[in-house]
Structure 1
Amino acid sequence: MPGPIDLHAHSSVSDGTESPGELVAAGVVAGLGALAITDHDSTAGWDQAIAAAAGTGLELVPGIELSTQLDYASVHILGYLVDPADADLVAATAAIRSERLHRAESMVRRISVDYALSWDDVLAQTTPGATVGRPHIADALVARGHVPDRTAAFQTILHWQGGYYRPHEAPPPVEGVRLITGAGGVAVIAHPGARGPQRVLSDARMRKLVDAGLAGIELDHRDNPPASRAHWSDLARRFGLLTTGSSDYHGAGKPNRLAENTTSPEVYAAIVARATGSRPVRG
């Protein structure tokens, strides 16, 4: 397959700034061979992305980034090529999106005591059907002039120690892996070197994830520092896990750029061979 393979990108269906169609167009401009759309807890952008990929030569990989939680730490599980109609997955993602919405509303109420910010301000930063979360609150804070950009919002007002933060409920990682594999998908831990996963994913807990069907670890990612990559690379070897690389692209929402980290063709082929829920779509 010509072109790099980027297996982690977001559209405006979750917290990216580009529509699914615009995300695909960005992938084409970046010269990608394959691109995964992995919106948070939603497959609602798949159809638009698939339609946009038609005739481009880009291979679109339908996916999802499932929210899970362990010891109050957020652990995200990428699910590639799931069946979007799987009843258990549909029910779980609907519940997670509802919880995300209530959490966001609660945080806005707290913030509005000290800053001029309303729920309508947040909704103005979303698209219909989007998974509403902290990034949309950040965009509303930017629009109101309280912070210069999303990064500043997350470093100050939206920081977990900022006084306005509220944790959200989500299934444990083992259940997330089971949901993805039960829907015929391939489960990969997203950016495990980030603060939350690095803190809570011990070897013993990783064994439970592997036993539940975990297939891989997103190793090459800007949130995994070099020392962390060495740890997770060794763990992947010991547990026989695939290792991927991805950008975690969010359009203008993050500095991450498409193809800044990529997945090897061999690992990508192994993911596709393992999946039974859906297939990549060649544009």
Structure 2
Amino acid sequence: IAGAGVTRGYLNRPELTKERFLDDPFYPGERMYQTGDLARWLPDGVVEWLGRTDGQVKIRGYRIEPGEVEAALRQIDGVRESAVVARTEGEETKLYAYIEGHDQQTVRTELTKRLPAYMMPSSFIEMRDWPVTPSGKLDRKALPAPAEAAECRAYTAPRTITEMKLAQLWEEVLKNGPAGIRDHFFEQGGHSLKATALVSRISKEFGVQVPLKEIFAKPTLEEIAAVIQELDESPYAAIEPAGKQDTYPVSSAQKRMYVLQQLEDGGVGYNMPAALKLTGPLDRARL
């Protein structure tokens, strides 16, 4: 099969063979879902997922259509051209916005008024010359990689020991090239989860507890370094493993989730299925 329209219900039906599906893909009285997924049926009966028929991507649990972000960018006064591309680096997918006609700080500020935080691009890259195909259309694959754009931004090196250590932590969290003291955490690809990771590393490295809200209020490396220097020392304490026992107490949130699951009479709304491929000898006891 090729194209959209494959449903979970069909894939879970053991009696549904390739021949049965092609002969009559519809079950009277049952609902079909347009998933937007592109797949093909292999000779051994396995359905192989090839991607999407649209540009939709999944970022930190949210399904996002880059075209919607582009449309919001074009509504900003002064933006003459824009493009939004999703790039996957390692296990993380990010949105990158390419803009012309306005500086990235102004565009970011205006875009936050139009889009929720999870749809905000990780980085804004200012363009002068756009790559085009022989037919004159935008060549998205030829747009400069974020690392190339990072080399073009102004860089001011750290001056103090605190700024140097913080810059190293910053680079470990953002993985976005050398960090200068004028760099803005969220403009360089940061978000709330990465801000939490930065706070944790600061606690371990400097022995101080930086409130998460300070990362949002003072997001440049220089400002965060100043906050660190003003805080009283609060030694980092690692969480110790619990002792081995047959049962463990659960949190209030876990109790609530269990009660909701029982009320739904066996619903699977809280199930998060995943498939993992393991290589090498398997220690079944540890698994």
Structure showing greater relative contact order (alpha-carbon pairs closer than 8 Å, 6 or more residues apart):
1
TM-score tier after normalising by the smaller chain length: under 0.3
State the TM-score, normalized to the length of structure 2: 0.26
More helix by share: 1
**Which has the higher Rg, Structure 1 or Structure 2?**
2
State the TM-score, normalized to the length of structure 1: 0.27
